[in-house]
């Protein structure tokens, strides 16, 4: 009995000690910042301190008394929750509680949990056995390592970035010894005959020392086996090391060289272009021009760069071009082409074809306009001359029809009436012969003579209006006939030289040349004070040249060209008959 009492006393003392230990543990655990959880041998949670509430987001009232594997399963991340996971958690936890698997005691275990609010945290847990009333319990200290884990992942990511970088990354000590290289550096190190722990080639060791000495990053370009590398040496002064970042810039350099070559070619074409070229901003400001543009406009290149494009365009054409430019900038047109007038530095107006295209970036952003200008003044003058020739031909044709009509009218009416009058007067003279007084007979004779003179004049007028020789015998014969009439009227010596053009000229062309000679001889008679005139017709291939030359006093050509003058109408008439410009005349 005495032994039984002693055993009971020892057991009571042990239980009191365990209760005191458990109370001490609970008091200490309540003051810890880390999470602490104690699980009884039955698998139910007996303690869940405030630190555990902060880490897990689960209040102690919702955890204490619950089976640990139920709580663990609720805190598993959503994508891992399934029946297999729950069974695995339950089986593993039961083994630990039964002390069948003690390998995890004292070793930190890391795991990701999901809190009730959906946020996730990384935790580190350390398991340990603890004697408590009712048997051995399992305790666990839980620490939130989310910040540390994410930092480690970032460091690991950076390390992977360096390791997986396609370009060389090196680190060298102050003495030029290589202390790190990523896999992409292997070909370079093989070329150098260097490896980690060995010295870099002499020149690179010197560059490392120079970088540490300057304390500032520097970039060096090196050609290795035909490839061009750019190396940035970045000193890390706190460690006395230099990071070396290499990049293969061969393609970029080739692209730069190709771009430079393209720009040089563009500059050559720009400068040597036979037409004017200008680079113009969207605002209209001129950026650059070539030599041909300067020659075309009469401005120096410096002057043009200070002008707006619209300063060169004729005021009457500015509005139309502004509208086209707005459509190009808006994207409605890719380019435009227009014929317009430009004003030179000296005020002269020239006609030009203007082609303008808007250059854009790869992002379709407008850069500037390329404006090409081709002088078409001569073409426009030729078109105007052609128009005037056609108009003159139509006018001359109409005049010739009218002359034929008048000549025919003179022949049919005036000529017949004069013939009738002549016959009547002749009959009257014969019938009155011997019965008329001398005075009456003299008057009758004068009348007959006058009728003959009028008839001859009418015939001359008819011939001048529509010379029959022109159609019957050609231009040269008509000119000789007219020269004879002109000599008789003016007492001027007129010579006609040359040969009849072959084939014969078209009727309208021959008529215009004949009228020009008529006008020229009229001018000679009125203004030249000449005694001799030469008319010459020459043919060269398909061209006919008509020359009228006299030995008179001449005149001032400038006075004739002045269209505001009150004289010079004869030459103007000749120019209009021929549909030609003043420059076709030689004085």
Task: For residues 304 and 307, give the distance between their C-alpha atoms in angstroms, rounded to a whole number.
Answer: 5
The single-letter DSSP state of residue 561 is: H
Position with higher pLDDT, 568 vs 185: 185
pLDDT at 419: 77
Rg (CA), the chain: 59
What average pLDDT does the structure give for the chain?
81
The pLDDT tens digits of the residues spanning 468-503 come to 777 778 888 888 888 888 888 888 899 999 888 888
Q: Flag whether pLDDT at 566 surpasses 50.
A: no
Residue 114: pLDDT band (50, 70, 90) is very high
CA torsion sign for 257, 260, 266, 270 is negative
Q: Is residue 258 assigned to a domain?
A: no
The pLDDT tens digits of the residues spanning 22-66 come to 555 555 455 567 899 999 888 899 999 998 999 999 999 999 999
| Structure tokens that stand for 368 in this block | 């500037």
Task: For residues 508 and 389, give the distance between their C-alpha atoms in angstroms, rounded to a whole number.
Answer: 12
Distant-in-sequence, close-in-space partners of 467: CB < 8 Å, separation ≥ 6: 478, 481, 482, 514
Least confident piece of the model among 63-67, 189-193, 372-376, 429-433: 429-433
Task: For residues 172 and 518, give the distance between their C-alpha atoms in angstroms, rounded to a whole number.
Answer: 105
Contact 560, 569 (CB under 8 A): no
Q: Flag whether pLDDT at 563 surpasses 80.
A: no
CATH label of the domain that carries residue 315: 3.30.450.20
Least confident piece of the model among 381-385, 484-488, 518-522: 381-385
Q: Flag whether pLDDT at 169 surpasses 80.
A: yes
The verdict on 386 and 477 lying in the same domain is no
The verdict on 46 and 110 lying in the same domain is yes
The verdict on 31 and 137 lying in the same domain is yes
Contact 397, 434 (CB under 8 A): no
Domain hosting 336: range is 273-374
Residue holding tokens 């005049």? 399
The single-letter DSSP state of residue 78 is: G
The verdict on 304 and 334 lying in the same domain is yes
Q: What percent of the chain has pLDDT over 70?
A: 84
Q: What counts of helices (H) and strands (E) characterise the chain?
A: 19, 18
With the CA atoms of 87, 91, 92 and 95 taken in that order, what torsion angle do they form, in degrees rounded to the nearest 10? Answer: 170
Q: Is residue 157 assigned to a domain?
A: no
Last residue of some domain: 356, 374, 392? 374
The verdict on 300 and 423 lying in the same domain is no
Contact 136, 35 (CB under 8 A): no
Q: Flag whether pLDDT at 453 surpasses 50.
A: yes
Q: Is residue 561 assigned to a domain?
A: yes
The verdict on 413 and 450 lying in the same domain is yes
Residue 18: pLDDT band (50, 70, 90) is very low
| Structure tokens that stand for 511 in this block | 């008529």
Q: Is residue 174 assigned to a domain?
A: yes
Helices 507-523 and 475-490 cross at an angle (nearest 10°) of 20
Average of per-residue pLDDT across 344-362: 89
The verdict on 285 and 385 lying in the same domain is no
The verdict on 314 and 229 lying in the same domain is no
Last residue of some domain: 149, 180, 195? 149
Q: Is residue 366 assigned to a domain?
A: yes
**What is the CA 414 to chain-centroid distance, rounded?**
77
Q: Flag whether pLDDT at 16 surpasses 80.
A: no
Task: For residues 216 and 213, give the distance between their C-alpha atoms in angstroms, rounded to a whole number.
Answer: 8
Last residue of some domain: 120, 149, 178? 149
Contact 492, 486 (CB under 8 A): yes
Q: Is residue 1 assigned to a domain?
A: no
Q: Is residue 24 assigned to a domain?
A: yes
Q: Is residue 91 assigned to a domain?
A: yes
The verdict on 487 and 453 lying in the same domain is no
The verdict on 459 and 476 lying in the same domain is no
The verdict on 17 and 145 lying in the same domain is yes
pLDDT at 29: 54
The number of folded domains in the chain is: 5
The pLDDT tens digits of the residues spanning 236-253 come to 988 899 999 888 888 888
CATH label of the domain that carries residue 474: 3.30.565.10
Helices 569-578 and 377-409 cross at an angle (nearest 10°) of 100
Distances in Å between the alpha carbon of 328 and those of 219, 324, 335, 361?
A: 44, 6, 6, 15
Distances in Å between the alpha carbon of 522 and those of 273, 526, 566?
A: 52, 6, 18
The verdict on 80 and 33 lying in the same domain is yes
């Amino acid at each position: 009995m005495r032994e039984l009492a002693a055993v009971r006393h020892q057991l009571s003392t042990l239980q009191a000690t365990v209760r005191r230990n458990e109370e001490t543990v609970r008091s200490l655990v309540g003051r810890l910042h880390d999470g602490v959880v104690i699980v009884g041998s039955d698998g139910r949670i007996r303690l869940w301190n405030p630190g555990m509430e902060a880490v897990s987001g689960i209040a102690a009232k919702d955890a204490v008394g619950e089976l640990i594997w139920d709580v663990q399963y609720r805190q598993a991340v959503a994508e891992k929750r399934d029946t297999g996971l729950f069974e695995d958690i339950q089986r593993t936890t039961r083994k630990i509680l039964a002390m069948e698997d003690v390998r995890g005691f004292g070793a930190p275990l890391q795991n990701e949990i999901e809190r009730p609010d959906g946020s996730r945290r990384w935790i580190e847990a350390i398991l340990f056995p603890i004697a408590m009333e009712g048997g051995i319990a399992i305790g666990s200290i839980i620490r939130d390592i989310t910040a540390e884990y994410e930092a480690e992942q970032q460091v690991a990511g950076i390390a992977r970035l360096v390791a997986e970088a396609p370009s060389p990354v090196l680190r060298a000590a102050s003495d030029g010894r290589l202390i790190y290289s990523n896999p992409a550096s292997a070909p370079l190190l093989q070329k150098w005959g260097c490896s980690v722990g060995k010295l870099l080639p002499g020149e690179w060791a010197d560059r490392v020392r120079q970088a540490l000495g300057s304390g500032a990053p520097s970039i060096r370009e090196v050609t290795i086996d035909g490839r061009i590398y750019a190396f940035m040496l970045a000193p890390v002064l706190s460690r006395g090391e230099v990071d070396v970042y290499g990049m293969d810039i061969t393609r970029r350099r080739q692209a730069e060289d190709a771009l430079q070559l393209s720009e040089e070619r563009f500059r050559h074409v720009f400068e040597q272009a036979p037409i004017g070229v200008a680079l113009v901003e969207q605002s209209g400001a001129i950026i650059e021009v070539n030599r041909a543009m300067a020659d075309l406009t009469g401005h120096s290149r410096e002057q043009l760069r200070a002008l707006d494009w619209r300063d060169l365009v004729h005021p009457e054409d500015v509005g139309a071009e502004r509208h086209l430019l707005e459509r190009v900038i808006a994207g409605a047109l890719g380019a435009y082409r227009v014929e317009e007038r430009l004003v030179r530095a000296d005020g002269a107006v020239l006609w030009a074809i203007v082609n303008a295209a808007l250059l854009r970036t790869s992002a379709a952003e407008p850069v500037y306009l390329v404006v090409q200008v081709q002088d078409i003044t001569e073409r426009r003058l030729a078109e105007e001359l052609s128009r005037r020739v056609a108009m003159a031909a139509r006018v001359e044709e109409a005049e010739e029809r009218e002359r034929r009509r008048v000549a025919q009218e003179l022949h049919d009416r005036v000529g017949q009436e004069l013939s009738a009058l002549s016959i009547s007067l002749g009959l009257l003279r014969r019938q009155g012969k011997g019965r008329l007084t001398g005075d009456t007979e003299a008057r009758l004779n004068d009348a007959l003579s006058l009728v003959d003179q009028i008839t001859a004049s009418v015939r001359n007028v008819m011939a001048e209006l529509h010379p029959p020789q022109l159609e019957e015998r050609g231009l040269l014969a008509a000119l000789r006939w007219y020269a004879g009439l002109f000599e008789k009227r003016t007492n001027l010596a007129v010579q006609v030289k040359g040969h009849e053009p072959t084939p014969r000229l078209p009727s309208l062309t021959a008529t215009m040349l004949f009228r020009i000679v008529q006008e020229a001889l009229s001018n000679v008679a009125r203004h030249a004070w000449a005694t001799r005139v030469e008319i010459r017709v020459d043919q060269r291939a398909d061209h006919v040249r008509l020359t009228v030359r006299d030995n008179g006093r001449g005149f001032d050509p400038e006075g004739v060209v002045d269209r505001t003058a009150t004289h010079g109408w004869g030459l103007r008439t000749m120019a209009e008959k021929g549909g030609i410009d003043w420059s076709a005349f030689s004085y």
